[in-house]
Chain A
Amino acid sequence: MWILAAATAILVLALAFFRFRQRAEAPSETPRTDMEVSTEIGVPPEEIDPSKAGQADRHAGVTLPRIPPPRQDRDDGSLRSASLRKTDLPKEVELAWEAGGLIEFQKGAWAVPKDPSEYSGQEAQDEPIGPKPVEHKPTEDKSVAHKPLGTTMEEPYTLPQRYGFDRLVLIARDPNWVYAYWEITHEKYRQMYEKYLRDWGLSRPVLRIYDLTSGPDRRKAMDVFISDRADNWYINISKPRHTLMAELGRLFPENNFVSFLTSNVITLPADTLSDMISPEWPPIGWPEGYPESAAKIGISSPMNRGKGADG
């Protein structure tokens, strides 16, 4: 009997020790960082559905976007040491830039994504890719069954992934949400990379939002930590009537923000009644007659009955 008890005790001890080892090895849950911790609000998880990423069947003549090859995680500093060898530089830049453009292909993120291999050493193209149409015969071919547009006279079009401009555009979608999309050119990325090479591995891509509501001097409203691979982002900022702009850049240690791109200026729509009352036209019938906010109006939408919805 005591043999059994001893065996059990040994087993329990061994298990406990193993557990302890495991815990000791596991990284702490919140890694310490000397950067300022900001609110991280970005693409809501439901916006990304990896199972539906780049469904090819939804695009005519479209190839699936290729997921970029696994690459080194830049946050672990390995790239930083690697970058000391000058010869590796261009390739690393290339890789990082490509990855930056490849975006997480969400449903319909691009009409016609291109093979990333086409990018290496090549500038962004304005011209649609694809062979030139072989014959132009402006006649109506009556025998041709209906196919998607552009099949009889033209090859199906593909849209370029990049247009070769540095650009950050904000769109005010509603009182709470801002949509941002951007493009960083190869030169720009390379230039910034070489300039901030030293700490690059410690930096993170950030979309910094400024509030211009109270005047022209920009006040930082929030930092949104984005993915290196994203080229668009939904930002839940919830600042109705506020005037905003943004910069896309990287946040380096000691809270050094380096801006790559500057956006346009937008104003978010109102979501409530105005507080301003005109003395000549003071409101009557308020508030019992009217709701205070859009949510209470029960905004109806002609979604279900409408043009073209009966296909």
Chain B
Amino acid sequence: MAKGFLSIVLHAHLPFVRHTDTQDCLEQRWLFQGITESYIPLLNSLSRLAESDIPGRITVSLSPPLLEMLQDPLLQERYIRHLDHLIELADKETLRVRGDINLEPLARMYLSKFKQTYLDYVDRFKCNLVQPWAALESEGYVELITSAATHAYLPLMLTDASIRVQVKTGLNAFRRHFGHTPKGFWLPECAYIPHVEPVLKAEGVEYFILETHGLLFSTPRPRFGYHAPVATPNGLLAFARDPDCSKQVWSADEGYPGDPWYREFYRDVGYDLPLDYLGKALPDGTRVPLGIKYYRVTDRKSDYKDFYRPDVAKHRAWEHAGSFMFWRNKEAEYWNEVYGRRPIMVAPYDAELFGHWWYEGPLWLENLIRRMARERQRVKLISPSQYREHYPVNQPAEPAVSGWGYKGYHEVWLEQSNHWIYRHLHHCEMRMARLSEDFKHAKGLAQRALNQAARELMLAQASDWPFIMKAGTVYQYAVNRFVTHIGRFLRLAEQIQTGAVDPVFLKHLEQADTIFPDLDFRVFGPGTVGAASV
């Protein structure tokens, strides 16, 4: 008899970084790194579990922009070319470090890994990374969910109508890729406001996940803290992130990824070797991590790094899976006793943490699921939607507005570096609503222009732009993307209103921003104007 439940939720998201004006750029590399280091290793780990028929279901959220990019022929082709360059470099590396007792085995490891990745991607998955997820889901090993259309930060939108469009478009994209409605919805950045619920309910979604205090501060006070979902006034189940699960995996100080034996992220040949040697492996001579890393964390406070030992790291991943399991058992036992009800521990993570940031992450996850099944643990791995089978009756309560960013609310996405964007976003929201009402019978060119305007607006709404502006990593890129999408929207809006749509300009945009090919602008439809009291 299980004493509690564990739900692991991996959220995979990247902004839409399809660039037709350049072959290769740093931002497109986010996708390529994600595929090589996270998505394929995770798929491999989960496929191995499925092959050995290990029970236990994890939940994977695939954001709509990511789904669109994974299925895009242009990006698929570019990814293969990128892998070619990477294999070429790994090959060169084996020659460069030949005879080095520490480095040579590592160089050989990377060469064979990249070659295997190539085979996986081209032969096994046929360049399509959406299909294997669907297969795993139909076999019952994962539950797939999705997020808002372009990962908009929902509480900072002006109108309920805009929230509705983001949610609905995201769900439509998911349906187009997988043929069914997901049971769960990933709130971008776990940012919750009650206004998101009616559309989730109307679209057939059953649950969503909140930051811890979003549930703790529910009204009325939740009986089981964050260890059980509440039933919202709209009949949805709201689960909360378990802080201990997060800390053990995520924390830079105490988390597993900081273990001295794990691979060091920042010592990468992309940073360490001469530019002319790296050649085409780098985009336009910009230094980016390439995924060939020879060193381990060693000591987080020191710059001295020892050589990476895959055998030891593998062993640590096994031990850490055991540690995580141990603490979940303790947590389940304790709260089970306090509550007289089996607690659920929800552990949401960014999928890119596994593999990209924490190289051994996919292995850790595989070990965890395997050990939980084999060692007859008292915690059962379920998806949030399976919880209802065990506890159909849940406490009615209204969750609190919250988000998982710094300080627990919206400050990361609304502060000095990025607050200027909301004036433009809000104006365009209202303008789009007005356009879709005024031109609801539009046909032909005007209709295409309206659809494209809707795409441009949604691309501008991505939470990634204000996040990057705040983080300052590629500030200029985020500003450019935002200004460009708003600029394109405004120009299209002007052309639509004056009845002078430029077909060449429109065609150009349709080829550049291809997201949501089936989008119908009427989703912004009537009833949206005047939704907010401004």
Q: Spell out A's residues near B (CB within 8 Å).
A: 47, 58-60, 106-112, 126-128, 133, 136, 138, 140-142, 144-154, 156-160, 163, 165, 167-169, 171-175, 177, 179, 181, 183, 232, 262-265, 267, 269-278, 280-286, 289-290, 294, 297-311
Q: Let me know if A165 and B477 touch, CB within 8 A.
A: no
Q: What 18 additional pairs, Cβ within 8 angstroms, besides A150-B480, A302-B250, A308-B14?
A: A111-B420, A111-B482, A127-B491, A136-B502, A146-B23, A150-B488, A157-B483, A157-B484, A173-B411, A232-B420, A271-B217, A294-B217, A300-B246, A300-B250, A302-B353, A302-B404, A305-B257, A308-B468
The 7 closest A-B pairs by CB, nearest first: A157-B487, A174-B409, A136-B504, A269-B401, A146-B22, A276-B220, A299-B408
Q: Let me know if B217 and A148 touch, CB within 8 A.
A: no
Contact A307 to B221, CB < 8 A, known contacts A128-B490, A263-B534: no
Contact A152 to B21, CB < 8 A, known contacts A157-B484, A299-B407: yes
Least distance between A175 CB and chain B CB atoms (Å): 7
Q: Let me know if B423 and A181 touch, CB within 8 A.
A: yes
Q: Let me know if A284 and B223 touch, CB within 8 A.
A: yes
Which of B54-62, B104-112, B505-513 lies at the binding interface?
B505-513
Contact A165 to B419, CB < 8 A, known contacts A274-B221, A299-B212, A299-B407: no
- Chain A residues with CB under 8 A of B288: 311
Q: Let me know if A311 and B480 touch, CB within 8 A.
A: no
Please report the C-alpha to C-alpha distance between residue A289 and residue B21 in the assembled complex, in whole angstroms.
Answer: 55
Residue in A109, A136, A299 whose Cβ sees the most chain B Cβ within 10 Å = A299
- Chain A residues with CB under 8 A of B490: 126-128, 157, 159-160
Which of B24-32, B166-174, B308-316 lies at the binding interface?
B24-32
Please report the C-alpha to C-alpha distance between residue A167 and residue B156 in the assembled complex, in whole angstroms.
Answer: 16
- Chain A residues with CB under 8 A of B482: 111
Contact A138 to B504, CB < 8 A, known contacts A278-B395, A298-B243: yes
8 contacts between A and B (CB under 8 A): A146-B283, A149-B21, A169-B158, A169-B422, A174-B407, A181-B423, A273-B221, A289-B225
Please report the C-alpha to C-alpha distance between residue A275 and residue B27 in the assembled complex, in whole angstroms.
Answer: 47
Q: Let me know if B534 and A174 touch, CB within 8 A.
A: no
Please report the C-alpha to C-alpha distance between residue A283 and residue B224 in the assembled complex, in whole angstroms.
Answer: 6
Least distance between B294 CB and chain A CB atoms (Å): 18
- Assess whether B213 is interfacial by the CB under 8 Å rule: yes
Q: Let me know if B422 and A171 touch, CB within 8 A.
A: yes
Contact A60 to B410, CB < 8 A, known contacts A278-B397, A299-B213: no
| Contact among A152, A273, A294, A305 for B357, CB-based, below 8 A | A305
- Assess whether B416 is interfacial by the CB under 8 Å rule: yes
- Assess whether B20 is interfacial by the CB under 8 Å rule: yes
Q: Let me know if A165 and B427 touch, CB within 8 A.
A: yes
Q: Let me know if A283 and B223 touch, CB within 8 A.
A: yes
- Assess whether B252 is interfacial by the CB under 8 Å rule: yes
Please report the C-alpha to C-alpha distance between residue A169 and residue B401 in the assembled complex, in whole angstroms.
Answer: 19
Please report the C-alpha to C-alpha distance between residue A59 and residue B338 in the assembled complex, in whole angstroms.
Answer: 56
| Contact among B223, B251, B352, B477 for A307, CB-based, below 8 A | B352
- Assess whether B50 is interfacial by the CB under 8 Å rule: no
- Chain A residues with CB under 8 A of B473: 308-311
- Chain A residues with CB under 8 A of B251: 300
Residue in B423, B482, B484 whose Cβ sees the most chain A Cβ within 10 Å = B423
- Assess whether B284 is interfacial by the CB under 8 Å rule: yes
| Contact among B13, B412, B493, B505 for A136, CB-based, below 8 A | B505
Q: Let me know if B469 and A108 touch, CB within 8 A.
A: yes
Least distance between A265 CB and chain B CB atoms (Å): 6
Please report the C-alpha to C-alpha distance between residue A304 and residue B358 in the assembled complex, in whole angstroms.
Answer: 13
- Output the nearest chain A residue to B493 by Cβ-Cβ distance: A126
- Assess whether B81 is interfacial by the CB under 8 Å rule: no
- Chain B residues with CB under 8 A of A149: 19, 21, 480-481, 484
- Chain B residues with CB under 8 A of A151: 21
Please, what's the 1-or-0 string for B66-81, where 1 marks a CB less than 8 Å from any CB in chain A? 0000000000000000
- Chain B residues with CB under 8 A of A127: 490-491, 494
Least distance between A39 CB and chain B CB atoms (Å): 22
- Chain A residues with CB under 8 A of B219: 270, 274, 276
- Chain B residues with CB under 8 A of A177: 411
- Chain B residues with CB under 8 A of A262: 533
Q: Let me know if B505 and A179 touch, CB within 8 A.
A: no
Interface members, chain B 239-285 (any A CB < 8 Å): 243, 246-247, 250-252, 257, 265, 283-284
